[in-house]
Amino acid sequence: MAINLEALQALELTDMRFAYGERETMLYALSIGMGRDPLDGRELSFVFEGGGLQAVPTMAVVLASTGIIRKTGVDFAKILHGEQRLVLHRQLPVAAELLANSRVAGVYDKGAGKGAVILLETTARSAADGTPLFTFTMTIMARGDGGFGGPEGTGPEPHRLPERIPDQTEVSETRPEAALLYRLNGDRNPLHADPKVAARAGFKSPILHGLATYGIACRALLRTVCDYDAGLMRSFDARFSAPVYPGDEIATDIWRDGDVVSFRCRVPARDNAIVLNNGRCHLAAAP
């Protein structure tokens, strides 16, 4: 069934309620590698409620899953998560009740047999006082849905990385059970847990969630350019470019230009495969 452009552009979900607490905040941090050294007091502040608990900024992208993608009418079996963009309107609380709205922020037709690009935007505010908390946008590549007569294009241009060598590189280990832990944040796709499902999809074993790699990159930047001050991050954008297998070592290349931090993630053991690209993080101020 072809995409109904008018219906897609009008699609909106409003005032969907979500809640999370300190347990979810600590689980998310653990799932992206925080606390690997339980004696590191800087990381303890993300995984222990007695240490002045902070929320990892990228946790925002798992807190308000409205399910709008399933209402778009696209062929769900042929979609890919292309990019993730996040804007933080204030520091993410460690616990809150949220009201979230989702809408289709953009749609582009690449042509018959070439697919479509759909931008799904979710905004969340505090249910207690209406304070805006965050906005995130998912870029969805709907590979089976091109040629519906929509506007041409491919979506927003990705951030261009600096051409100089990285200013620094942060290496992060991932655990073999990383995907089994990360899926407890809400994404229960068996591709990340069931070896048979992964094999049918063409992978040698279950792969790590793209958003887990996104969170690992956030941890790398918190460690290197923010001195573990989560309140400094104001945005966090990246493009997914290749899968990560649990147990891979991830090298995050980092460029600092004032309050803009550019980054990419690669797996050195697999010919430096770029797994997260065109990353950009805005900081509130120089730490």
The greatest distance separating any two alpha carbons of the chain, rounded to the nearest whole angstrom, comes to 57
Q: Does some domain include residue 62?
A: yes
Same domain assignment for residues 90 and 29: yes
Last residue of a domain, one of 96, 126, 142: 142
Q: Is the pLDDT of residue 155 over 90?
A: no
Domain-ending residue, one of 142, 159, 178: 142
Cα–Cα distance for residue pair 250/275, rounded to 1 Å: 9
> Per the domain annotation, does 157 fall within a domain?
no
Most confident of the following: 71-75, 140-144, 157-161: 157-161
pLDDT digits (tens, 9 = 90+) for 28-38: 999 999 999 99
Among candidate residues 159, 192, 237, 248, the one labeled active-site is: 192
State the sign of the Cα–Cα–Cα–Cα dihedral 185, 186, 190, 194.
Answer: positive
What residues contact residue 196 under an 8 Å CB cut-off, 6+ apart? none
Give the CATH number of the domain where residue 104 resides.
3.10.129.10
The one catalytic residue in 81, 89, 167, 187 is 187
pLDDT at position 2 is 67
Residue 156 lies in a domain: no
| pLDDT exceeds 80 at position 111 | yes
Model confidence at 285: pLDDT above 80: no
Domain assignment of residue 95, yes or no: yes
The verdict on whether 159 is a catalytic residue reads no
- Across the chain, what does the average pLDDT equal? 95
Pair (190, 271) in one structural domain: yes
Whether residue 161 lies inside any domain: the answer is no
The structural domain count of the chain equals 2
The pTM is what?
0.96
| Residue 9 shares a structural domain with residue 128 | yes
Q: Are residues 173 and 138 in the same domain?
A: no
In a domain, 163, yes or no: no
Inside any domain, residue 153? no
Give the domain-ending residue among 73, 108, 142.
142
Do 20 and 136 lie in a common domain? yes
192 is catalytic: yes
Angle between helices 22-31 and 210-224 (to 10 degrees): 90
Claim to verify: residue 27 and residue 127 sit in the same structural domain: yes
Give tens-digit pLDDT for 226-239. 999 999 999 999 99
Q: Is the Cβ–Cβ distance between 73 and 4 less than 8 Å?
A: yes
Is the confidence at residue 210, as pLDDT, over 60?
yes
Token pair 């070592």 in the structure block, residue = 249
Same domain, 135 and 177: no
Range of the domain at 113: 5-142
